[in-house]
Structures are given as structure tokens and as C-alpha cells.
Amino acid sequence: MKENNHDKAVRTSCVIAVAALLIWTGAVTANARSSDPQPAKSQIVWDGLIRELIQNNPELQSNESRIQSLDIIPDAKMAWDDPVFSASVSNVPLDTFDMGQEAMTQKSIGVTQRIPSAWSRASKRERAKSMTDMAKAIKAHRAAMLIESLKKTVNEIIFLERSLQILTENEAILDEFINIANAKYSVGKGIQSDVILAQVKRSELILKRFELDEKLKIARIRANRLLGRRPSTDFVTPPPWILDGDLEHDAVWRESLENSPAIIVARRSVDTAKRGLEVAKSMNGMNMALNARYGQRDDTLAERPDFVSIGVGVSVPLWRSSKQDKYIASARFTVQEKAEALQDTILETSKTLKDTLQSIYKETQTIDLFRNGIIPQAEQALEASKAAYKLDKVEFLTMLINEITLLDLQIGLERSIMRKHNLHARIEAITGASLNKENRP
């Protein structure tokens, strides 16, 4: 009988263990399922917003129109110059103005076609292409800056909405203070000034709410403006941008050397300057000119034949030292200037990256200190002061100061989170590196 009881106890323990394991597994699976769609959802929403910004932002639309206008130019650079048609009358006698009196009198029509050298036309075409690439790089750079502005604006909206929520929670706490003070005052254990002081602080929170509401409306209007929407359009706050937890400087920097919008613009400037140098050199090429002329003479007693003239001309860079060479020297200095500007942009981008990463580290430490140190201690201090006030062991002002301190710390935490997210947005804008978890390999 004892064995049976023992077996039952063993079986019962096994069943309980298995049930606990199943419950734990189910909870983990449920948490995973509830958290897994969030990154995908956030990514989809943000992809839509960024696509909307690129398509509808007025500044980017203007840049796109410029790209289209430049994109059709390269082929035009390969075309010949327009032909020149001429008409003239030559060798007309002044005494009679008779067109048939003199044998050399004739009426002429002609055409001249100037043909620039193939070198000149090809170099101008390549320079036109580089101008198009430059315009595309400028648009990409501006798009990165505008996306950064959109992310910062959304971060501000999230911060303001969260701050308003914190204010609502603290208004409820102050209402509790007022009730406690009223209760103590009604039984003669409190003073009326405590009630009045709590009401004043609650009114200050209401004023703070008005201020945050106004800032929230302005931020939403700014977000609509970036997206090319009407200012009155309802702006639905998207999920927070999903950030990569650890940023390794060298990896981000290697990516930025290839993808940084500012560096790409500087490289395109160097390419355009080099194409300009080729155009200057091509001015030393020999340009041809073809001309043809038909001269018609009036017949007199004898039939007189008409004339046809055909000629070929070639330009000779006779004044090369005082003209073409100077253009070439100026173009070389431009290439040097743009190359130095590229190096300066690379150095400035590297410096900004290091400074921003350092600021992210600081904000991360600040957030951790808020969450795991200061705010829990402030919450404990507030609860302790509430209990002590009910027992007449501390003054009402002490409890109120603890509540205001907790409010400031909670908003300070949200502000640090906003700053960290803004710094991530800044890194993406200046380096072109994707910090979104969904986009990183």
C-alpha cells in the first residue's frame, strides 16, 4: 500500500512537472508570437512612410524634375551644330544694277555645316552624364536628410504622447494627494494649505498639458509637411523605429565609405570636375567646317553657266597657350579642389560618426540609470512618503516634492530615449548605413 502511495506521489509529481513545462513553453511561444510580428509591422509601416516621403515631398519632386531635365542632355551633346544657310548677291555693277551686264554678277545661296571633333562631343556627353549622376546624388542626400527629419519628428511625437500619458498618471496621483489632504483636514489632522498646494501643483500640470498639446499639434503638422500631405491631415503615429542594439564603429564606417550620401555627392563632384577637364582638353581638337555654295548668273546674248563651290575648313588652335592651356589649367585646379573637398567630407563624416556613437553610449548609460536606479528609488521614496504622511511622520510638502521629482525623472527618461533614437537617425543620414534590424545582415 505504501508502494502504491509512493508511485502515486511520483506520478503526480511528474504530471505537475510536465504541466508546468507545457505552461512555460506555451507562455514563451505566446510571447514570441506576440513579439515576432512587431518588427515586421514596424518595418512595413516605416517603409510606407519613407516611400511616401520620397514620392510626395515637394523638394524631392523638384530634384526629380531636375534629374529628368539633365538626363536628356547627354545625347544632345553628340549632335552637330545647326547648319548655317546664307544668300547673297555679288559683283553687281553700281551704274546700272543690271544683273546680266557683267559676267561675274551672280546670285548665290550656300550652306555651312560645322562639325565639332568626336573627342569634343564625347567629352561633353560624358560631362553631361556626370551632371545627371551629380543631381541623383544630391537628391539621395536630401532624401536622407528629410528621412532623418521625419524620424526625429516622429520621435518627438512619441515623446510628447508618452509625456502626456505620464502627466495623466501624475494628475491621478495628485488627485489622490488632494483626497488624502482633504481627509486629514476634515478630521483636524491636516492644514488647508496642503490642499491648496496640491491643487496649485495640479493646475500647473494642466498648464503643462496645454503646452505639450500645442507642441504635439505642431510636430504632427511638420510630419505631414515632410510627407507632402495637407497640414490638416490626421497623422497616425507609427511604431517606434526598430534599432540595432550594438553599433560597432568599424563596421558602420566601412559601410558609410560606400553609402554615405555626403561622400557620394563629393565623389560625384570629383567625377564632374574630371569630365570638365576632358572638355577643356578637347578644345585643342580640330573642328571641321563644310560649306557649299551655288551661284546663279543671268543669261545675256550668250548662255552663261552657273557656279558651284564646295569647301572644307579645319580649326587650328593657334592661340593655344593664351586660351586653351588656361582653360585646362583652371580645370585641373577645379579637380584638385573637389578632391580635397572629398577628403574633407570623409574626415568630417568620420568625426561626426565617432561623436554620435559616443553620444549614443552616453544616452544608453543614462537610460539604464533612469530605469534601473533613479526612477525605482524615486518610486520607493514616493510610496514611503505617502505612507509616512498618513501617519503624520512627514510633511505634505515632502510627499509633494517626491511626486514632482518622479514626474521629472519619468519625462527625463522619455527625453533620453528620444535623443538616442534621434542619434541613430543621424547616423543613418550621414553614413547611409542601415541601423534597422530588419535591414542589417
pLDDT digits (tens, 9 = 90+) for 320-361: 778 888 888 999 999 999 999 999 999 998 898 889 888 988
Residue 31's pLDDT is 40
Q: pLDDT tier at 242 (50, 70, 90 boundaries)?
A: low
**Other CB atoms within 10 A of residue 194 CB:** 22
| Domain assignment present for 226 | yes
Per-residue pLDDT at 157 exceeds 90 = yes
Residue of 398 and 72 predicted with greater confidence: 72
Same-domain check for residues 301 and 198 = no
| % of the chain residues with pLDDT over 70 | 83
Asked if residue 10 belongs to a domain, the reply is no
**Which residues sit opposite 290 in a β-bridge?**
113, 312
In a domain, 35, yes or no: no
Pairing of β 307-314 and β 106-115:
unpaired
Do 92 and 220 share a domain, yes or no? Answer: no
Between 168 and 179, residue with greater pLDDT: 168
In a domain, 356, yes or no: yes
Among 295, 322, 349, residue at a domain's last position: 322
- Residues 291 and 356 grouped into a single domain: no
Dihedrals φ, ψ of 103, to 5°?
-70, -30
- Flag whether 439 is in a domain: no
Q: Is 367 found in the same domain as 273?
A: yes
Q: Please check whether residue 241 lies inside any domain of the structure.
A: yes
> In this structure, are 306 and 237 located in the same domain?
no
Q: How far apart are CA 236 and CA 209, in angstroms?
A: 20
Is residue 4 included in any domain, yes or no? no
Average pLDDT of the chain?
Answer: 81
In-domain check, residue 15? no
Least confident residue range of 143-157, 300-314, 369-383:
300-314
Side-chain-facing half-sphere of 92: CA atoms under 13 Å: 11
Does residue 112 sit in helix, strand or coil? strand
Helices (H) and strands (E) in the chain, counts: 11, 4
Claim to verify: residue 278 and residue 289 sit in the same structural domain: no
Count of domains in the chain? 2
Higher-pLDDT residue of 172 and 230 is 230
278 and 297 belong to one structural domain: no
Q: Please tell me whether residues 68 and 197 are part of one structural domain.
A: yes
Q: Which of 24-33, 135-144, 266-275, 303-312 has the lowest mean pLDDT?
A: 24-33
| CATH number of the domain where residue 168 is located | 1.20.1600.10
Q: Are residues 382 and 267 in the same domain?
A: yes
Domain region containing 93: 81-115+284-322
Residue ending a domain, among 304, 322, 340, is: 322
